[in-house]
Chains A and B, each alone.
Chain A
Amino acid sequence: MISPQAGDAESRFPRPAALTVNRRGQELPIYRADLTAGAEKVNGIDTEVGQRFASEINYVNYYARKLADTLAMQRLDMAIVEDRDSQTSFHRNGSDVKWQGVVASHRLPVHEVRSAISQH
């Protein structure tokens, strides 16, 4: 049984300052996840958010595979999940198990997400 990462804003999804995107141009921390080995963060240190990031990718990928079958497509290239507390975005980094992305504390337009991820 696969389940998504839990998300209570205050107690279960900590949002350290490093994850807050500054609209004045502060860079988003990039996470890299190898689904066989967990997640790592490229900028800064935040293990818990990194693990949640990997868990989110797992969950979305599970359903994306089913959706791809239905839509007669081959693979998921990128995904963005937005809830009331955060927005998690990730894209494929060369293989099915390697992904990289960002976690933002508020909604970013898709074109901004794309450029934030592709810069790395």
Chain B
Amino acid sequence: MDHSALVSAIAAMQRLDGVAGILLFKGKNAIHKQMPFTDGRTFDLMDTLGDMLDGYQQVRRRIRSVYFQFDGGVLLVLVQEQAALVFFLMNRADVDLVAGAGAGLLRDFAVYLAGASDVAQPISQTAPEVEELVVTRARTVQAMADKVEPTASNWGAVRAVVERTLGKVMGRAQASNLIARTITDSKIDDPYRLPRADVLKLAISCIEHVPNMSKRRQLLMELEQDLAEQKL
């Protein structure tokens, strides 16, 4: 059982009805996170839950699960040793079913999780969403402009269409993660440098990750129409 098997198992649980997000952490290490909000918010959530579980540990209570039903959704935390599997659920989710599946996952990956680090991983391991560019001198700007390679790709506009299309069947964060995963799986370094034909192939392969066949077919048709309308 390795990390990729763990990610696959978690992805399968994400498809359970009413599951809006999943976070698996051990100590300060976010082993896997797929929550429908920013990383900052996810880490805040992890810290708060970590503090709460530490409190229980200090009084020698071995917590198995904590269930929070808020006015707008449910947070289910399953605990095994130092690892915690957190589900963010919609009200329609079958909590007992999700809890059973989550407990099974924690058992299956107990050895892997026991060996996982509980130290926060360096930020450099996660891909930065925004690149900061500091310009100090006008000459530098000119020098950079001279070196810039031509980027003929229309990936930016196509990506927006793909996100909108995927957004009909999943959350924005999930759609964004799916696109990122597809780019990685396709071993594409920079989609902005792809030729137009390959950009379209990439867009289609993103949609092809939608598990439901009829939805997938419908989304592919809509993608084609939208791209044609926008002359992309």
Q: Which of A6, A8, A59, A71 contacts B70 (CB 8 A)?
A: A71
Q: CA A66 – CA B68 in complex, angstroms?
A: 12
A3 surroundings in chain B (CB, below 8 A)? 55, 58-59
B137 at interface by CB-CB < 8 Å? no
**8 A Cβ contacts from B49-90 to A:** 49, 51-52, 55-56, 58-73, 75, 88
User: B residues within 8 A CB of A107?
Assistant: 64
Q: Are A5 and B59 in contact (CB under 8 A)?
A: yes
Quick check: B72 and A76 within 8 Å, CB to CB? no
On whether the beta carbons of B75 and A71 are closer than 8 Å, the reply is yes
Q: Contacts A59-B55, A71-B45, A82-B65 given: A6-B75 contact, CB under 8 Å?
A: no
B95 CB within 8 Å of chain A: yes
Cβ-neighbour of A109 out of B58, B72, B96 (below 8 A): B96
Majority secondary structure of chain B interface residues (helix, strand, loop or mixed): mixed
Q: Does A64 make an interface contact (CB < 8 A)?
A: yes
* Category for how many chain A residues contact B: 20 to 34
Q: What string of 1s and 0s marks CB contacts (under 8 Å) between A58-102 and chain B?
A: 011001101110111111111111111000000100000000000
B interface size (C-beta, 8 A): 30
| Nearest-neighbor residue (CB-CB) of B51 within chain A | A63
B168 at the interface (CB under 8 A from A): no
Contact residues in B for A60 (Cβ distance below 8 Å)? 52, 66, 68
A4 within 8 A of B: yes
Contact indicator B69/A63 (Cβ below 8 Å): no
Q: How far is the CA of A71 from the CA of B74 in the complex (A)?
A: 10
- Cross-chain contact of B72 among A71, A79, A91 (Cβ < 8 A): A71
Asked whether any CB of chain A lies closer than 8 Å to the CB of B126, the reply is no
Please provide the chain B residues from 13 to 52 with a CB less than 8 Å away from any CB of chain A in the complex.
Answer: 41, 44-45, 48-49, 51-52
